[in-house]
C-alpha cells in the first residue's frame, strides 16, 4: 500500500503542477505504480481542461479561442513537459545517421525545424479538434476524458519488453517496468470510462474508439522508437501522451457539434 501511495503521488506530481510534497527515493515498484495510475494522476489537468471547455461556450467565446485556451491550460498544467517530449522525440527520430546521434540530439534538447513543425501541427490539430468537440452539448466531458485517457500512453510505453534507450534519465526507472496484465487493466478501465462518457454524450461507440485509436498510434510510436533508438525514454512518454491526445480529439471531432 505504501508503494502504491508513493506511486500515486509521483504520478500526480509528474503529470501535473499539483504539489505533492517531498517524495522518498523512488524505486522501480513505486515507479511502476505511477505508470499504471498515470490517468488517475492526470485527473487535475483533465478536470481543468473539461472545465474550460464547458465555460468557454457558455461565455460565448469563439470555438477556436476555446480550443486555444484549453491547449494553453494543458501546457501550463503540465509545465509543457509533454510538449518538450514531443519536440525532442521528433528531432531524435528525424536525426538519422545512427542511434547514438538520435539520442544525443534528444539529450541536447535544442529545438530543430522538425520539432517546431511537429509541435505546431499537433497543437493546431488539438485546438481545432477541441473547438469542434467543446461546442457539443457534452463536449466538455469528452475533452476531459480524452485528456485523462491520453495519459495511459505512459503505461503503454513503460510496458515490459520496451527497454530504456539509454542508461540514465527517467526511462531507466520506468521503462520495461509495467507487466502486460497491469497494462491491460489500465487500458480496459480507461476504455470503460470513455464508453461511459460517450454514453452520456450520445457517442457511446465513438468515444472508446477514439481512445483506442490513440493507443494504436502510441504503439506505432513505441515500435518506431524501439527500432531507431533501441528503446524508450522519458521524452518518448511525453510524445506518446501528445500523440494519443491528438488522435483521440481528431476522431472525436468528427461528431463535434452533433
Q: Choose between 176 and 95: higher pLDDT.
A: 176
pLDDT class of 102 with cuts at 50, 70, 90: confident
As a whole number, mean pLDDT of residues 70-91 equals 94
Closest by CA to 248, choosing from 111, 167, 147, is 147
Whether the pLDDT of residue 255 is over 80: the answer is: no
pLDDT at 104: 84
DSSP state of 176: T
pLDDT class of 14 with cuts at 50, 70, 90: confident
Whether the pLDDT of residue 177 is over 80: the answer is: yes
In Å, how far are 4, 21, 22, 30, 167 from 25, measured between CA atoms?
14, 13, 9, 9, 18
pLDDT at 135: 87
Closest by CA to 231, choosing from 216, 221, 243, is 221
Tell me the C-alpha distance between 125 and 118, whole Å: 11
pLDDT at 171: 66
- By the 8 A CB rule, do 33 and 8 touch? yes
Tell me the C-alpha distance between 254 and 187, whole Å: 23
- By the 8 A CB rule, do 26 and 6 touch? yes
pLDDT at 257: 42
178: three-class secondary structure by DSSP: strand
Whether the pLDDT of residue 220 is over 50: the answer is: yes
Where do the structural domains in the chain lie, given as residue ranges?
A: 46-253
Closest by CA to 54, choosing from 169, 167, 159, 142, is 142
Amino acid at each position: 500500500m505504501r508503494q502504491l501511495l508513493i506511486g500515486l503521488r509521483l504520478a500526480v506530481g509528474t503529470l501535473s503542477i499539483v504539489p505533492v510534497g517531498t517524495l522518498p527515493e523512488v524505486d522501480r515498484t513505486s515507479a511502476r505504480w505511477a505508470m499504471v495510475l498515470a490517468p488517475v494522476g492526470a485527473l487535475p489537468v483533465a478536470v481543468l481542461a473539461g472545465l474550460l471547455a464547458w465555460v468557454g461556450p457558455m461565455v460565448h467565446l469563439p470555438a477556436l479561442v476555446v480550443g486555444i485556451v484549453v491547449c494553453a491550460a494543458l501546457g501550463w498544467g503540465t509545465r509543457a513537459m509533454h510538449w518538450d517530449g514531443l519536440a525532442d522525440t521528433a528531432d531524435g527520430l528525424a536525426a538519422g545517421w545512427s542511434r547514438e546521434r538520435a539520442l544525443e540530439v534528444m539529450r541536447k534538447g535544442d529545438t530543430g525545424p522538425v520539432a517546431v513543425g511537429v509541435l505546431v501541427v499537433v497543437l493546431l490539430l488539438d485546438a481545432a479538434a477541441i473547438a469542434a468537440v467543446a461546442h457539443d452539448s457534452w463536449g466538455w466531458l469528452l475533452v476531459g476524458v480524452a485528456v485523462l485517457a491520453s495519459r495511459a500512453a505512459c503505461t503503454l510505453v513503460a510496458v515490459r519488453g520496451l527497454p530504456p534507450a539509454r542508461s540514465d534519465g527517467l526511462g531507466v526507472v520506468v521503462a520495461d517496468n509495467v507487466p502486460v496484465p497491469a497494462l491491460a487493466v489500465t487500458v480496459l478501465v480507461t476504455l470503460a470510462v470513455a464508453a461511459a462518457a460517450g454514453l452520456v454524450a450520445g457517442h457511446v461507440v465513438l468515444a472508446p474508439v477514439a481512445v483506442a485509436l490513440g493507443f494504436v498510434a502510441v504503439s506505432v510510436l513505441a515500435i518506431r522508437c524501439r527500432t531507431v533508438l533501441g528503446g524508450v525514454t522519458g521524452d518518448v512518454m511525453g510524445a506518446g501522451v501528445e500523440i494519443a491526445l491528438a488522435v483521440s480529439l481528431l476522431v472525436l471531432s468528427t461528431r463535434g457539434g452533433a
